[in-house]
């Protein structure tokens, strides 16, 4: 105040004497000692006993001494403010220096981790699995650079042979027609012991159906005997998928193994996946097998030597798989809602198709340009044009879908679900879609019979239903 204090108090923190009303106002506003900048409260003030000081007459600005006094007070206030600003500047500089040091250290750590991640990804992208005949489930060594020249030559020969004849291939004379499909109805229903079976595979001669359950068993259902005539033991775990490769029965399990049987005997066993194997597919040549799994990889097997040909890592867990009719492309559906299409020969990602949810079923059409897919919980089948990389048609069956399957000529698409079976037809002449069959038989898997004149359906209770024309 520039005046002798009327009620002097001393600060316990700095020992400085202040005017009580002024220091209390300062504490209320700042909460600190103006000298040491330590925290200060009214309780830290000690009142001093002094003799009564007569307040001098307030100065006026009518004399030089009073003006000098006012100027002195203003100068003192500016000096104090400058001192406070220097303190704050010093503290801010220290905090900024610490923050810059921590940021520089974090950037160095992130750069090192990014480099290690990129090196690991580059190393993993080049990994493939190679092994000899694996009849006892031994782990494979990850050291093969890719498919062998013999396998690549087989893929190229198959593509050249099939791509030349596929479009010119006429519809067989005894093939099913839309009129015949209109009269399809269940004619047989057989109970099997596989109450939790989720896959069904019809062999080439359509006289045997392969299916498996949760007890580590795969059953061979004889169409003529209408019963399970042979049972194959795949060990522990649930059977997740089955298929035929000519006369060989192949099964995948939830424990990550793939087993191959011939004449009732296990001839090969693979355990290249680090988790559940979710789907199998066989190449049009009949000599290459593919498996996909939750470990985000797919594996190709050479069935001529019962060896692993290559393993390719992807960016998501895979749920379903299929080969293009010409054999040069491989498609896999993922839990990320993408259908990933790869070049079979080198594993390059040729295209990605985005769906609405995890993919549960895919099927290539024999016309070579279409791919049907369904997402988990969806009632819509999407028809993708591989040339346009876009959906050209959708089919809404009004209930969740479990499986989709084109037949050999590419005219009819079977759509299976717990609410029933639907068959859609595409007419090349009219370029229109129609629905020749809709039946309430519940299905988790579906397969076409001989010349598509019959359809096999598997329900969740393990019943196999045979639909034929009445």
pLDDT computed for residue 67 by the predictor: 82
Scanning the structure block, which residue is given the tokens 């424990």? 255
Scanning the structure block, which residue is given the tokens 């819509």? 380
For 197, residues 6+ apart whose C-beta sits below 8 A from its C-beta are 211, 212, 213, 239, 444, 445, 458, 462
Q: What is the pLDDT along the chain (470 residues), one digit of tens a residue?
A: 667 788 889 999 888 988 888 989 999 888 888 888 888 998 989 988 877 666 665 656 677 887 888 888 889 889 999 999 999 999 999 999 999 999 999 999 999 998 888 887 666 655 433 333 333 333 333 334 688 899 999 999 999 988 888 777 888 889 999 999 999 999 999 998 888 888 899 998 899 999 987 788 899 999 889 899 999 999 888 899 999 999 999 999 999 999 999 998 999 999 989 889 999 999 999 999 999 999 999 999 999 999 999 999 999 999 999 999 999 999 999 999 999 999 999 888 999 999 999 999 999 999 889 999 999 999 999 999 998 889 999 999 999 999 999 999 999 999 999 999 999 999 988 999 999 999 999 999 999 999 999 999 999 888 999 999 98
Query: In whole angstroms, what separates CA 388 from the centre of its chain?
Result: 24
pLDDT computed for residue 56 by the predictor: 60
Residue 227 pairs with which residues in a beta bridge? 222
From CA 127, how far away is CA 123, in angstroms rounded?
7
Scanning the structure block, which residue is given the tokens 């045979």? 466
Residue 53 pairs with which residues in a beta bridge? none
Task: Report the 10 Å Cβ neighbour count for 382.
Answer: 22
Contact assessment for residue 240 and residue 208, using Cβ atoms and an 8 Å cutoff: no
For residue 212, give the nearest of 227, 192, 191 by alpha carbon. Answer: 192
pLDDT computed for residue 314 by the predictor: 92
pLDDT computed for residue 353 by the predictor: 93
Q: CA angle, 10 as apex, 4 and 14 as ends, to 5°?
A: 115
Which token pair is 378? Answer: 């969806």
From CA 281, how far away is CA 241, in angstroms rounded?
9
Phi then psi for residue 195, to 5 deg, are: -70, -15
Scanning the structure block, which residue is given the tokens 């522990």? 236
Residue 465 pairs with which residues in a beta bridge? 189, 457
Residue 302 pairs with which residues in a beta bridge? 288, 307
From CA 388, how far away is CA 394, in angstroms rounded?
15
pTM of the model: 0.69
């Amino acid at each position: 105040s520039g005046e002798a204090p009327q009620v002097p108090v001393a600060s316990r923190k700095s020992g400085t004497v202040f005017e009580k009303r002024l220091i209390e106002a300062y504490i209320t506003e700042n909460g600190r000692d103006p000298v040491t900048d330590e925290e200060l409260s009214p309780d830290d003030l000690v009142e001093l006993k002094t003799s009564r000081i007569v307040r001098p007459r307030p100065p006026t600005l009518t004399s030089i001494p009073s003006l000098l006094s006012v100027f002195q007070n203003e100068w003192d206030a500016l000096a104090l403010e400058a001192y406070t600003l220097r303190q704050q500047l010093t503290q801010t500089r220290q905090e900024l220096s610490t923050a810059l040091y921590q940021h520089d250290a974090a950037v160095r750590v992130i750069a090192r981790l990014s480099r290690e991640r990129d090196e690991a990804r580059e190393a993993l992208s080049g990994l493939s699995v190679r092994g000899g005949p694996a009849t006892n489930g031994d782990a494979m060594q990850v050291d093969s650079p890719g498919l062998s020249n013999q396998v690549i030559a087989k893929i190229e020969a198959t593509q050249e042979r099939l791509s030349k004849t596929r479009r010119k291939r006429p519809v067989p004379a005894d093939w099913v027609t839309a009129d015949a499909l209109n009269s399809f109805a269940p004619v047989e229903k057989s109970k099997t012991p596989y109450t939790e079976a989720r896959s069904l595979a019809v062999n080439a001669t359509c006289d045997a159906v392969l299916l498996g359950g949760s007890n580590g068993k795969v059953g061979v259902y004889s169409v003529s005997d209408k019963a399970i005539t042979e049972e194959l033991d795949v060990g522990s775990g649930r059977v997740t998928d089955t298929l035929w490769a000519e006369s060989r029965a192949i099964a995948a399990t939830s424990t990550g193994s793939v087993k191959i049987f011939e004449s009732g005997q296990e001839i090969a066993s693979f355990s290249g996946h680090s988790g559940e194997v979710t789907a199998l597919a066989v190449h049009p040549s009949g000599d290459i097998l593919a498996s996909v799994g939750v470990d985000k990889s797919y594996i190709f097997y050479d069935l001529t030597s019962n060896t692993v040909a290559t393993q390719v890592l992807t960016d998501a867990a895979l749920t379903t798989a299929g080969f293009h009719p010409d054999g040069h492309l491989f498609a896999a559906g993922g839990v990320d809602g993408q259908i990933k299409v790869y070049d079979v020969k080198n594993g390059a990602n040729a295209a990605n198709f985005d769906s609405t949810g995890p993919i549960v079923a895919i099927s290539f059409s024999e016309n070579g340009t279409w791919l049907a897919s369904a997402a988990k919980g969806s009632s819509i089948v999407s028809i993708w044009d591989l040339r346009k990389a876009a959906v050209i048609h959708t089919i809404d069956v009004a209930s969740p879908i479990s499986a989709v399957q084109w037949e050999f000529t590419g005219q009819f698409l079977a759509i299976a679900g717990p609410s029933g079976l639907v068959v859609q037809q595409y007419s090349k002449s009219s370029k229109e879609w129609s629905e020749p069959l809709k039946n309430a038989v519940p299905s988790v898997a579906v397969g076409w019979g001989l010349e598509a004149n019959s359809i096999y359906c598997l329900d969740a209770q393990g019943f196999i239903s045979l639909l034929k024309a009445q």
